Amino acid sequence: MPANALPSTSPSTPSTSSKLPSYAQEFGHGIYAIDTAFQRDHFDAAYLMVDDGRAAFIDTGTRHAVPRLLGTLEALGLSPQAVDWVIPTHVHLDHAGGVGPLMEQLPTARLLVHPRGLRHMVDPSALWAGALAVYGEEEMQRSYGTLVGVPEARTVASTDEQRITLGQRELRLIDTPGHARHHHCIWDPVSRGWFTGDTFGLSYREFDDTNGRAWILPTSTPVQFEPDALIASIERMLAAQPQRMYLTHYGAVGRDAADVQRLAQLLVSQIREMAAIAMSLREASDRHEALKRELLALYQRGVAAHLVDAMPPDAMTPERVAHLLTMDVELNAQGLGVWLDKLDKLPTR
């Protein structure tokens, strides 16, 4: 297969090697998605990339996902010593909570992390305290498990336009703020795809139409959402003319370059609509609840428009959309609220 060709399977129906565990999916070009089982099935993915016998994990999920990551490695006949890199896209716990315990099992791997997030991977106490204040001890243990720091000597801070080698391929990293200021994305020239973390939004397979086309929405999770920066990061990724995007939430999307452009346009339009909704509710007495209502309505309209003529009308009701997006609506409303509060603190001219 030529280096720039995509496998025949679509992102929605990846090929699966018979030797892989049921929670892992193969997307071709040595790329595997591992369902971390965070919150629900097909919600949170970690990726394993293999080239010429060398391996890298991109995002890890939480501590609870580590046995699945190691199980996939073993199923492919690779030892822990084959892993050269662990690369969280950013340090939110659903992406990087498992970094510390995973690194303990990978004796020769190096951790490549955004410079703004590096200190939190070495000493995760601030990450833990922040999340603990929101979720409480019981939920933290249930969803995330205890955090483990990584020895600083095993860490590398990424730089914008950095290149690293994995086997015979060269990966490129770029700084992608907007969702978080400690976020980078990873370009794979072999599959012509970006590993996007949360910068390229969320796309759940339940919303795929009967033709396998994906629907997507932005994530404005607190506390560093910046709409203009996020749009700029998306546009920067598009400059590479990607044919596929590997999302943490969830899986590979984009059938070709044109389909990736379609998804990007949908993302950008929603980012602008979300910012406009937030601004219109800036002084509302029930701002958070109003934001949730307006965001859910936006997403319900988007799903309905996406699925019209391509799915039976009773297959995705507004109530089912609300159920699937409960967490995302809540977090997006929180993030927009934090963004509005920051705008209020800006000096006026």
pTM for the model: 0.91
Provide the pLDDT for residue 269.
98
Provide the pLDDT for residue 130.
80
Could you read off the pLDDT of 74-85 as tens digits, one per residue?
A: 999 999 999 999
Provide the pLDDT for residue 347.
65
Mean pLDDT across 161-166: 98
β-strands 24-26, 184-188 pairing: unpaired
What DSSP line would sit under 272-300, residue for residue?
HHHHHHHHHTTT-TTHHHHHHHHHHHHHH
Mean pLDDT across 51-80: 97
Longest Cα–Cα distance of the chain, Å, equals 63
Provide the pLDDT for residue 6.
33
Contacts of 28 (CB under 8 A, 6+ apart): 1, 6, 7, 9, 15, 191
Provide the pLDDT for residue 313.
63
Mean pLDDT across 90-102: 95
Angstrom distance (rounded) from CA 210 to CA 192: 25
Could you read off the pLDDT of 213-247 as tens digits, one per residue?
A: 999 999 999 899 999 999 999 999 999 999 999 99
Q: Which of 154-168, 210-224, 300-314 has the lowest mean pLDDT?
A: 300-314
Which domains can be identified in the chain, with CATH numbers? 15-113+115-157 (3.60.15.10), 173-344 (3.60.15.10)
